[in-house]
């Protein structure tokens, strides 16, 4: 059976009156298939900001990146 509905927050409001067609008892689990082209993935900014923010007040970060930069360019020094 195919039934249409509208998503409102965490609730799916059914557009069809299924009670006229079939009686489903409370607590019955159903599966819903959502086409991939309708899925909007949330950016993972909170996780990224947490990682970026770890070094915000680190006074040694400039020194660490200077060492990394020197090591990256070591083969260019003659």
Q: Per residue in 33-77, pLDDT tens? A: 888 888 877 777 777 777 777 777 888 888 888 999 988 888 776
Beta bridge partners of 15: none
Q: Which helix (H) or strand (E) holds 12?
A: strand 11-14
Asked whether the beta carbons of 18 and 3 are under 8 A apart, the reply is: yes
DSSP 8-state class, residue 70: H
Residue 56 vs residues 4, 46, 52, 62: alpha-carbon distances, Å: 49, 15, 7, 11
Residue 18, pLDDT score: 66
Q: Does 78 have pLDDT greater than 70? A: no
């Amino acid at each position: 059976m195919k039934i249409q509905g509208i998503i409102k927050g965490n609730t799916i409001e059914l557009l069809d009156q299924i009670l006229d067609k079939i009686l489903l008892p409370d607590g019955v689990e159903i599966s819903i298939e959502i086409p991939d082209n309708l899925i909007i993935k949330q950016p993972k900014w909170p996780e990224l900001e947490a990682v970026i923010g770890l070094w915000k007040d680190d006074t040694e970060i400039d020194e660490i990146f200077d060492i990394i930069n020197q090591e990256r360019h070591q083969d260019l020094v003659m």
